[in-house]
Amino acid sequence: MPERKIPDIGSQWRWGSWRFYTVILIANEHFETNAHPTMIIYLGRNGKIWAKTLTDFTNTMKKVKE
């Protein structure tokens, strides 16, 4: 699989114009296969935890400038 930039733990991201999330965990980073893609686990401000594949995450989320 091609190398892609993995978000840093603790980095802030935005989906849409007003939903903000914090990356809390990276899963399958060291053993990525089609059956087990790299997953980004992130926390919303409402306390809910979400997960997306690295590809979906980088295609739909925008990094919040620090």
Range of the domain at 57: 12-63
Instruction: Provide Rg for the chain, Cα atoms.
Output: 12
Q: CA–CA separation, 12 vs 46, rounded Å?
A: 14
22 assigned to some structural domain:
yes
* Domain count of the fold of the chain: 1
29 Cβ contact list (under 8 Å, min separation 6):
6, 38
With a CB cutoff of 8 Å and minimum separation 6, the contacts of 43 are: 21, 22, 24, 49, 50
What's the predicted TM-score (pTM) here?
A: 0.86
Count CB-CB contacts under 10 A for residue 57.
Answer: 23
Domain presence at residue 7: no
Least confident of 5-14, 15-24, 31-40, 46-55: 31-40
Residue 60's identity, in one-letter code, is T
2 pLDDT band (50/70/90 cuts)?
low
